[in-house]
């Protein structure tokens, strides 16, 4: 048995489902990398505690608080298709399947036949980083200014669409965490580090 096969056998795919609102699903799915050759990054990962998406530059984590045994994956392309159903307010997610709940009796279902299991990234290690400084923001536009004040540079396209929340910082070289004030969705972003900074004159 190969190492990858061994990892897959350790993963217990859940037969449970998870219900997410449009607002939450849109915020989480923004971090999915649908074209990464590391196939596991093309998926939203759901385990007993969290929904996780990453493209290696940012990671989004949401503690769902629902009863899920084991874990399952939903491909990013399915999520993109489901979110185009503009009248849908809630989505039922299960392994490689999304059901769009509508006000009428009829629901749209998007699914994939592919059932290969993937060993997902160890996102728990990211959560273990200490962030002793917590800075509140009240508008999305505040985020860049707060980070610049702390000498932290990040790519603007990775700033999440959060209207208010908390920025958690350790130092200018460590990952920062931007937490949404309403849903407690965490977006972890690697800062842009100036590798020549120690050569510059003070």
Location of structure tokens 């009829």: 106
- Architecture per CATH, 3-123: Roll (3.10)
Handedness of CA 68, 90, 157, 148 (dihedral sign): negative
**What integer pLDDT is reported at residue 169 of this predicted model?**
93
**What integer pLDDT is reported at residue 202 of this predicted model?**
47
Name, in order, each residue with C-beta under 8 angstroms of 143's C-beta and a sequence gap of 6 or more. Answer: 137, 159, 162, 167, 178
What pLDDT digit, counting tens, does each position of 24-46 carry?
999 999 999 887 888 888 999 99
Determine the longest span between alpha carbons in the chain, in angstroms: 68
What pLDDT digit, counting tens, does each position of 137-176 carry?
999 999 999 998 888 989 988 999 999 999 999 988 889 9
- Cα separation, 63 vs 113, in Å, equals 27
Residues forming beta bridges with residue 188, ordered by sequence position: 59, 177
User: Strand, helix or coil at 141?
Assistant: coil
pTM: 0.85
**What are the structural domain ranges in the chain?**
3-123, 129-199
Burial class (CB in 10 A: 0-12, 13-18, 19+), 8: middle
């Amino acid at each position: 048995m190969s190492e990858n096969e061994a990892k897959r056998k350790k993963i217990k795919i859940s037969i449970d489902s998870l219900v997410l609102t449009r607002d939450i699903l849109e915020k989480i799915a923004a971090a999915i990398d649908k074209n990464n050759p590391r196939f596991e990054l093309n998926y939203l990962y759901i385990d007993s505690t969290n929904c996780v998406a990453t493209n290696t530059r940012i990671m989004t984590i949401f503690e769902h608080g629902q009863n899920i045994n084991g874990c399952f994956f939903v491909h990013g392309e399915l999520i993109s298709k489901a979110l185009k159903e503009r009248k849908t307010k809630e989505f039922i997610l299960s392994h490689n399947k999304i059901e769009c709940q509508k006000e009428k009796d009829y629901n749209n279902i998007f699914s994939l036949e592919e059932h290969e299991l993937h060993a997902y990234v160890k996102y728990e290690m990211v959560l273990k980083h200490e962030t002793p400084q917590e800075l509140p923001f009240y508008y999305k536009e505040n985020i860049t200014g707060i980070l610049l004040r702390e000498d932290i540079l990040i790519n603007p396209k990775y700033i999440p669409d959060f209207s208010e929340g908390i920025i958690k910082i350790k130092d200018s070289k460590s990952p920062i965490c931007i937490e949404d004030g309403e849903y407690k969705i965490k977006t972890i972003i690697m800062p842009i580090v100036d590798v020549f900074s120690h050569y510059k004159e003070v």
